[in-house]
Structure 1
Amino acid sequence: MQCGSCKDKFTARAFAPAHITGFFQIHDHKEPMKKGSTGCGVVLDRGVHTTVTIGDDIESTDIYLNGEKVAGDTSRAVVSSMTEIPVTVESTSEIPIGCGFGASGAGALGTAYALDHALSLGHTASQLNDIAHVAEVSNGSGLGDVTGQAHGGILIRKTPGAPSVASVDQIPSKENDVYCVVLGELSTSSVLSDQEMVNDINNAGKEAMKKLMQKPSVENFMHCSRDFTIQSMLASEKVMDAIEAADTIGVTASQAMLGNAVFSMPSQKDSNELENIFSEFGTVLRFKVRTGTIRIN
């Protein structure tokens, strides 16, 4: 799309949704296309809007997030893998950053789709999804979010790897409400680099997947995620307090992986009471399950 203020500039815009992982198992591999995670997560109706601008006066690739210039290593890796032309990437996030909502994956996907459109590169959706995945796992900013975001809904990642490689399935779902409360940030890379944590995660993730596949329902997904939170020992004291507070009204809540946040998908009759309970811990964010995926605006 031509920029209205400058005839020698062109912009393209794309949106990619947030993704919350309920439980997961880490699968390392020397090939980024085969590296990733198995597990289950939910795609949300809000996410990251990304604008890519190309023009003769752009001399270097710069990445902006919510109006501030950032290193943007994952999005920058997307750009460098697709073109040598310098571009400006501007992402605006509707979701918390560094809190388990898959913001880096959403930014990478938005960058890939917008850049492909801006330069008429002719990639397929599958190719763009894989580019975003490789950029994310190579930079240690995530493992399975891109695969979830590329499919939408409540996605079961049965085998690891990029979206075109991974074997996936879905839990049939309406566009259920998802309630979240953010308690702080948690570095994905710091957890993934701790081998003892990785062992605990993988043991808990294997057990959670086994239980989910015995009864692949929304309710069981939440129960498996809660059990994973406890068994993986990733939760902070505040996260456990919020989960236990939800227990008092019979609602299952869990940690958003990997982030210092709590989420739940309550029934309609429990939603107001859960919102009141979560509000004691912070600002309550309300989303819906997004059954669609990435779009070019």
Structure 2
Amino acid sequence: MQPEPVNDTLTARAFAPAHITGFFKIHDHEDPMKKGSTGCGVVLDGGVYTTVTTGKDIDKTEIFLNGEIVAGNTSRTVIESMTDLPVKVESISDIPIGCGFGASGAGALGTAYALNHALSLEYTSIRLNDIAHIAEVKNGSGLGDVVGQAHGGIPIRKTPGSPSIARIDHVPTAEKEVFCVVLGELSTSSVLGNPEMVKNINIAGEEAMKKLIEKPTVDNFMHCSREFAINCGLARGKVREAIEAADKAGVVASQAMLGNAVFSIPSVTCVKELIDVFSDFGEVLRFKIRTGSIKIV
């Protein structure tokens, strides 16, 4: 039974990792459990730390991101599906927001796991993952990040839907370094609401998946991601320039979906060249591939 914290303050903290999608195909469905995307991405060791607090001093639900109050609709949906109690959510992100790093999914997962721990709800991980996925889909903030974040590594989402029903495989990998440069924000909903863009994404995403399955390696994942970004028309302006500049330096880079950011998983011998290229476009962010998943901290 869910406790009612009349006198006591209940709190818990969770970490959920970032996820960069390299390519994807959209699968719409009226059932949010079955709505989502197929594709492939990479999970990073950076992410979002979320603390939830409930008790007599919390009289309404408020959500904070990096110290500032936000609407936090996706995390709010998570809370409403788990409890009627008012909850204070404080998320600290060490990844860019609104730039294709899956921050909303990480925040939703962190909220679900921390709230489950604070209230001793005894939900399983799969149930918590599904709650976060449904919240993302309902709020239009993502389609497949939660599925990837729940697995770690370089997950291949072979079938769409929530984590409990999606079929997942992986590109085998060590915890390689991932380099990124952020060039601005991009609204997920603005892209997914464009029928012509959705058509192009789905054609390019299906082709990318076929090529990756034929050769499931890290290098081929980067090649497939680059082709997808160019072929579907999402890579424009500075993003396209950064990808092409990396090409000239002999390194494969691509766009973080859906965001105005570029990423690469270079070989050790190409790290200096990549940093030189990315530095021309902005601050170079360095992460490692995270082979684990969400955790209580």
TM-score (norm 1): 0.97
After superposition, the C-alpha distances for 1:209-259 in whole angstroms (9 at most, x for unaligned) are: 011111010010000000000111011210011001111121100000000
Q: 2:4 — aligned with what? A: none
Distance apart, 1:59 and its partner CA = 1.0
Task: Give me the whole-angstrom Cα distance separating, in 2, the residues matched to 1:68 and 1:219.
Answer: 39
SS at structure 1 position matched to 2:18: strand
After superposition, the C-alpha distances for 1:142-170 in whole angstroms (9 at most, x for unaligned) are: 00000000000000000000111100100
Task: Give me the whole-angstrom Cα distance separating, in 2, the residues matched to 1:193 and 1:47.
Answer: 27
After superposition, the C-alpha distances for 1:32-72 in whole angstroms (9 at most, x for unaligned) are: 00000000000000100000001112111101000000000
SS at structure 2 position matched to 1:151: coil
Task: Give me the whole-angstrom Cα distance separating, in 1, the residues matched to 2:202 and 2:8.
Answer: 51
Q: 1:4 — aligned with what? A: none
- Asked if 1 retains the 8 angstrom alpha-carbon contact of 2:27 and 2:38, the reply is yes
Task: Give me the whole-angstrom Cα distance separating, in 1, the residues matched to 2:12 and 2:262.
Answer: 34
Q: 1:220 — aligned with what? A: 220
- In the alignment, residue 255 of structure 2 is paired with which amino acid? Q
Q: 1:254 — aligned with what? A: 254
Q: 1:76 — aligned with what? A: 76
Question: 5 Å matches for 1:72-151?
Answer: 72-151=72-151
Distance apart, 1:132 and its partner CA = 0.2
SS at structure 2 position matched to 1:52: strand
Task: Give me the whole-angstrom Cα distance separating, in 2, the residues matched to 1:189 and 1:95.
Answer: 20
- Asked if 1 retains the 8 angstrom alpha-carbon contact of 2:249 and 2:277, the reply is no
Q: What is the percentage of aligned positions where both structures have the same residue?
A: 71
Task: Give me the whole-angstrom Cα distance separating, in 2, the residues matched to 1:76 and 1:195.
Answer: 28
Q: 2:46 — aligned with what? A: 46
The reply on whether 1:23 has 2:23 as its aligned counterpart is yes
Identify unmatched segments of 5+ residues in structure 2: 1-6
Task: Give me the whole-angstrom Cα distance separating, in 1, the residues matched to 2:236 and 2:140.
Answer: 22
TM-score (norm 2): 0.97
Task: Give me the whole-angstrom Cα distance separating, in 1, the residues matched to 2:35 and 2:282.
Answer: 35
SS at structure 2 position matched to 1:208: helix
After superposition, the C-alpha distances for 1:100-120 in whole angstroms (9 at most, x for unaligned) are: 000000000000000000000
Distance apart, 1:76 and its partner CA = 0.1
Question: 5 Å matches for 1:169-180?
Answer: 169-180=169-180
After superposition, the C-alpha distances for 1:17-41 in whole angstroms (9 at most, x for unaligned) are: 0000000000000000000000000
Question: 5 Å matches for 1:179-194?
Answer: 179-194=179-194
Identify unmatched segments of 5+ residues in structure 1: 1-6
SS at structure 1 position matched to 2:263: strand
Question: 5 Å matches for 1:213-292?
Answer: 213-292=213-292
Runs of 4+ aligned structure 1 residues displaced above 2 Å come to none
The count of corresponding residues between Structure 1 and Structure 2 is 291
- In the alignment, residue 159 of structure 1 is paired with which amino acid? T
- Asked if 1 retains the 8 angstrom alpha-carbon contact of 2:229 and 2:254, the reply is yes
- Asked if 1 retains the 8 angstrom alpha-carbon contact of 2:27 and 2:160, the reply is yes
SS at structure 1 position matched to 2:197: helix
